[in-house]
């Protein structure tokens, strides 16, 4: 059974296609403010990548902050539900899921059998999210894929005290103007993001195994900071961590059928 899941996040739209539990193809497209059109584009891209026709797909499920903007007919699922399912699919033994997305960080504790035990997100503040990293990268005039290498080169970390993404950006600009080494600024900001996520995790609780998902999970320096602040190890996903929620949405659709 071929099923599709679409996760419309704050910063990017992710679409995946599964067939009987196997990942056939996926697409990640940045939103750039064009909410409805991106879902269409992402769908077109994933169909092209898999060589499938839209008619061959038996179920379309949408989730995420912007799911109401998905223009093609679909059923909807809660983000928590999709995150839990997706995480279990990529790593059956997971108990704690830390999803660090564009605007929201979500932490879920799973029961041994897989249902959700407890969850929390940072719904009042955008600190420590992907948006902050994007703002920072712009301020530093660095492409996102150069952040990890830069953090790795740093001899020390520049201090970034602000939790607020807006103020944090100003702090970074001040550091740049003061001539602080960019690699040190990057080290400081990835540390701050990991610390922010760790603080949220501690409010929910930690149970191994811990899985980190979401676009921000692609930054190894953030994961290192998270692990340092939680004093524990985390696991990585085999697939792109940014599509885990979309996978969960597709799986929910399959079960529904």
Partner 1 sequence: MIFAGCDVGSLTGKAVILQDNEIKAYEIMRVRPRPEQTAQEVMTKALDKAGLTFDDLAYCVSTGYGRERIPFAQSSISEISCHGRGAHWVNPEVRTIIDIGGQDLKVIRVDRFGYMADFTMNDKCAAGTGRFLENMAKILGLSLDKLGPIAFEATRPVGITKTCTVLAQFDVLCLLTDGETKADISAGIAQAMAERISKMARRVGVRKEVAMTGGVAKNSAVVNSLQEVLGVQLYEMTQVDPQSIGALGAALFARERFERQKRVKG
Tell me which residues touch partner 1 (CB under 8 A).
Answer: 10, 33, 35-36, 65-66, 69, 103, 123-126, 131, 162-167, 170, 173, 177
Closest to partner 1 by CB, 96 vs 129, is: 129
d(CA 32, CA 191): 26
Measured from the CB of residue 57, what is the shortest distance to partner 1 in angstroms?
A: 26
- The least CB distance from residue 48 to partner 1, in Å, is 26
Residue recorded with tokens 């995790």: 201
Q: How far apart are CA 73 and CA 80, in angstroms?
A: 21
ω before 214 within 30° of 0 (cis)?
no
**Terminal CA-CA length for the chain:** 9
Closest to partner 1 by CB, 160 or 230? 160
CB of 21 to partner 1, least distance (A): 34
In whole angstroms, how close is the CB of 129 to partner 1 at the nearest point? 8
> At a CB cut-off of 8 Å and minimum separation 6, what does 122 contact?
104, 105, 128, 129, 196, 200
Residue whose CB is less far from partner 1, 93 or 170: 170
Nearer to partner 1, 79 or 252 (CB): 79
């Amino acid at each position: 059974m071929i099923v599709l899941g679409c996760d419309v996040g704050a910063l990017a739209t992710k679409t995946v296609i599964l067939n009987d539990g196997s990942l056939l193809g996926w697409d990640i497209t940045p939103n750039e403010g064009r909410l409805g059109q991106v879902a269409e584009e992402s769908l077109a891209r994933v169909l092209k990548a898999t060589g499938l026709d839209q008619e061959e797909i038996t179920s379309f499920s949408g989730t995420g902050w912007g799911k109401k903007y998905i223009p093609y007919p679909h059923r909807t699922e809660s983000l928590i539900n999709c995150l839990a399912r997706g995480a279990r699919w990529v790593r059956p033994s997971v108990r704690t899921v830390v999803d660090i997305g564009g605007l929201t960080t979500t932490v879920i504790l799973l029961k041994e059998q897989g249902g959700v035990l407890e969850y929390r997100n940072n719904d009042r503040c955008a600190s420590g999210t992907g948006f902050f990293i994007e703002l920072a990268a712009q301020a530093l005039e660095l492409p996102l894929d150069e952040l990890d290498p830069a953090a790795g080169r740093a001899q020390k970390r520049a201090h970034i005290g602000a939790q607020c993404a807006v103020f944090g950006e100003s702090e970074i600009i001040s550091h740049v103007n003061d001539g602080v080494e960019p690699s040190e600024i990057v080290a400081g900001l990835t540390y701050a993001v990991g610390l922010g996520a760790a603080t949220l995790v501690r409010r929910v609780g930690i149970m191994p195994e811990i899985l980190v998902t979401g676009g921000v999970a692609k930054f190894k320096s953030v994961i290192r900071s998270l692990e340092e602040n939680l004093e524990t190890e985390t696991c990585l996903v085999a697939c792109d961590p940014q599509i885990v929620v979309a996978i969960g949405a597709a799986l929910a659709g399959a079960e529904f059928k």
